[in-house]
Amino acid sequence: MLARIRLRVPDRPGSLGRVASAIGTASGDIAGVDVLATEAGSALDDVVVRVRDVGHLDAVLTALTGVPGVGVDGVHHPVPPVPGHADLQLVAQVLAQPGRSLQTLVDGAPAALGVDWAAIVHTEIGRDELDVVATGSGAPAALAGTLVGPFRLRTFRLEPAGGPPHAAALVPLEGCPLGLLLGRAGGLEFHSRELWRLGQLGAVVGPCLAVSAPA
């Protein structure tokens, strides 16, 4: 099982080494590190760790909290990612199957983009509400009718009835009235760097879908 752990660490030599040592002491295996930001003497990193189960993950988190100056901002258990440039592979799959491009996009988004679920939404000029066009597995059942707000690249929170909050990102697909809605159960926020990457994806995929988008 993979876990994405978002950490705040002191921005000085040796900090990441101490993090790696703590994870190793708890028998975790680091699968990747993504530096999201550095500011005011600290760094924000996403560390992807391979663990056996939830209990093992708890042991890794406990070890990390014992490292001076290190704070855990959030944890996410993503779908195991596809190898290589996953976002580019997803674009290729969408283009290769024009007859089911929207469903291919929502089905492939979790493994390619590190989210729990995806949906396609449709906008109309003059309306704040977004209509759901397609959904992938894991999307909240009551998604339709709950999406309001500006149709632009942004993050927000969804709170499905009877469930945990979801961190969500809306990614307009350029050139058509469609948007890619992405969610993470448990609330690990989309960082601005992630949002920028998703915006680039929307700029590439949108024109390819424009010809088949609902009017």
Q: φ and ψ at 144, to 5 degrees?
A: -60, 140
pLDDT band of 130, cuts 50, 70, 90: confident
Q: What pTM, to 2 d.p., does this model score? A: 0.80
HSE-up of residue 9 (Cα within 13 Å, Cβ side): 24
Domains in the chain (CATH in brackets) are 2-76 (3.30.70.260), 86-212 (3.30.450.40)
- Quick: pLDDT tens for 52-86: 998 999 999 999 999 999 999 888 876 555 555 67
Q: Each residue of 173-182: pLDDT tens digit? A: 998 889 999 9
